[in-house]
Amino acid sequence: MVGDPRFLIHPVVLMGRVIRFMERRMNHWQTEHDRILRIKGMILAVTVTGLAYVTTYLICKMAWTFSPLVGDFVNLWLISTTIAWKGLNRAGGEVYDALTAQGLEAGRKAVSMIVGRDAAQMSEPEVVRATVETLAENVVDAIVSPVFFAALGGAPLALAYRAVNTLDSMVGYKNERYRAFGFASARLDDVLNYLPARVTVVLLYGALLGKRYTANRAWRVMRRDARCHPSPNSGYPESMVAGGLSIQLGGLNYYGGIPSQRAFMGDPIRPLTPERIRETMRIVEGTGWILFSLSGVIALLVTVLADKF
């Protein structure tokens, strides 16, 4: 909720530097066979994820050895770096502000900072669609999954998840350079997000109930359209948001000038105007508060039961 201090180096930035360093030295995609590249990609995924887990575990252990209070603080702070609740909505707000205050060109520039698709020729509805899709998809990656893995294994497992997510965002593309090398990273990210993505559907339903949006329509659209998405996980939050806002997501995208047709999700009942970005931000906010509240209740119950038994 507070956001990360800008004067500190974020752990994800450090992960990104390690991934980039290793990728440049391991990924000889122009000369090596795909089988070799897949093996190297597996080595990269295991190394970076393991390094994130072990490093975080040692930091927390040293902090707890020094003082239980310091250990708890370090553990909680490291967990917080994996959750991008405020950062996600800030990114959406920057696109909204650029579109409404400065015009389409500024909106294209702002959205190009948060999506991998080509933005130079996007129309205003396409900028809005890209932003809404990104916000919806990242409810899983940036909020629900980090909390899920932190609950299972504290900061070490939360940072290990974030390492996998960072690997996917950097090398998990299906282009010529990363198709083989990034295969392991992309599949591992799919596996880890499988359950959190489905938990997110329930949280989004609750967030939609609290607004003037149509939660029941969102549920119907999710059941109809979620599996049409090429990702086994992203279709669930995106179709829920599409149904809740009565808009249509999906369509034609361009990546490096190459067209990619995505299945449509939702129905075009309402137009894709900048206000849809604000509405999606409110849904993200509601989802975060529901997760925060449920986490607190569950933690309290576990504490009470642990003391009792």
Residues of the chain with pLDDT under 50: none
Residue 306: half-sphere exposure toward Cβ, Cα within 13 Å: 6
> What is the rounded CA–CA span in Å between residue 300 and residue 35?
49
State the pLDDT at residue 23.
95
State the pLDDT at residue 133.
97
Question: Is residue 4 one of the residues assigned to a domain?
Answer: no
CA torsion 203-207-210-213 (nearest 10°) is -120
Question: Is residue 284 one of the residues assigned to a domain?
Answer: yes
**pTM: predicted TM-score of the whole model, two decimal places:** 0.91
Residue written as token pair 């508060």: 289
3-state secondary structure of 204: helix
Write the CA distances from 124 to 14, 47, 278, integer angstroms: 35, 41, 15
Phi, psi of 32 (to 5 degrees): -100, 155
Question: Is residue 264 one of the residues assigned to a domain?
Answer: yes
Angle between helices 104-111 and 124-139 (to 10 degrees): 30
Question: Is residue 92 one of the residues assigned to a domain?
Answer: yes
Residue written as token pair 């440049």: 24
Structure tokens that stand for 4 in this block: 């990360």
Distance of CA 269 to the CA centre of its chain: 27
Q: Which residues make Cβ contacts (< 8 Å) with residue 255, sequence separation at least 6?
A: 116, 117, 118, 173, 175
Residue 111 belongs to domain spanning: 11-308
Question: Is residue 1 one of the residues assigned to a domain?
Answer: no
Question: Is residue 291 one of the residues assigned to a domain?
Answer: yes
> What is the rounded CA–CA span in Å between residue 179 and residue 33?
12
pLDDT tens-digit profile of 290-300? 999 999 999 89
Question: Is residue 5 one of the residues assigned to a domain?
Answer: no
Domains of the chain: total: 1
Question: Is residue 227 one of the residues assigned to a domain?
Answer: yes
Do you know the residue count of the chain? 309
State the pLDDT at residue 144.
97
> What is the rounded CA–CA span in Å between residue 219 and residue 241?
9
State the pLDDT at residue 306.
87
Contact assessment for residue 57 and residue 156, using Cβ atoms and an 8 Å cutoff: yes
